[in-house]
Amino acid sequence: MLQDAWDAVVDVAANTPHASQQLLVEILCAVQGEDLSTQFPEKVIVWGERVKMFEDLPLFGPSLRTAWNQIPGSGSQRCFTPEQWTNINAFVARLTALSSSLPVFDYSLYAIWSLRAVFEETEVDEALASAGEVWLQYSRAAIEKLSCAEKTFEGRLAAPGSKFRDKDWVGFNMERLGIWQAALELHSK
């Protein structure tokens, strides 16, 4: 049931133009901030982990991860259109922009995946370029902060794209941020 609710939120985000998503972000923040301790006094177990209902947004992350597998042209059974893909990225970027005060909304790895796909690969699907752009539009300050702090991820999750194979990037850093910003500026002209 909870997974279905989060999937519905993701679908609404995909079909809401990104300039009009603020209310959806506010609703999700309100749900996350609601004190439901009287209805759910105990933590629940989700995938072997004890979490608080809604406060920890259990299963929301997996719903987003499923959406990321539906990138246009992926061959997935249900691919998003380029416009829907941009909207999903904008929604998650808006949430990530709030992550310094609400860590549950830290989806910064998704930023790396989208920005890498658009600005670090030798072959880029131009239809997907706006998905990378909205990350810097809605979450620039958070991305800059993460780059200054050099936030990293385990393994190869945040490895560089094909244009930068020689780099040992495993997350955010100022060099990578500079490349994204320069590429965005070049792409915007």
Q: What are the DSSP calls for 10-43, one per residue?
A: HHHHHTS-GGG-HHHHHHHHHHHH---TTTS-S-
Provide the number of structural domains found in the chain: 1
- Residue 46: how many CA atoms within 13 Å on its side-chain side? 17
- List the chain residues with pLDDT less than 50: none
Q: What is the per-residue pLDDT for 148?
A: 98
Q: What is the per-residue pLDDT for 26?
A: 96
Return the structure tokens found at 109: 């790895």
**Summary mean pLDDT of the chain:** 92
Q: Of 74, 38, 36, nearest to 58 (Cα)?
A: 36
State if pTM tops 0.85.
yes
Q: What is the per-residue pLDDT for 16?
A: 98
Q: In whole angstroms, what is the distance from residue 147 CA to residue 44 CA? A: 34
DSSP state of 81: P
CB-based contacts of 41, cutoff 8 Å, min separation 6: none
Q: What is the per-residue pLDDT for 40?
A: 67
Return the structure tokens found at 15: 């079909």
Which residue's entry shows tokens 């991860």?
65
Q: In whole angstroms, what is the distance from residue 31 CA to residue 124 CA? A: 37
Q: Of 82, 83, 142, 80, nearest to 110 (Cα)?
A: 142
Rg of the chain over all Cα atoms, to the nearest angstrom = 17
Q: Which structural domain range is residue 183 located in?
A: 2-188
SS3 108: helix
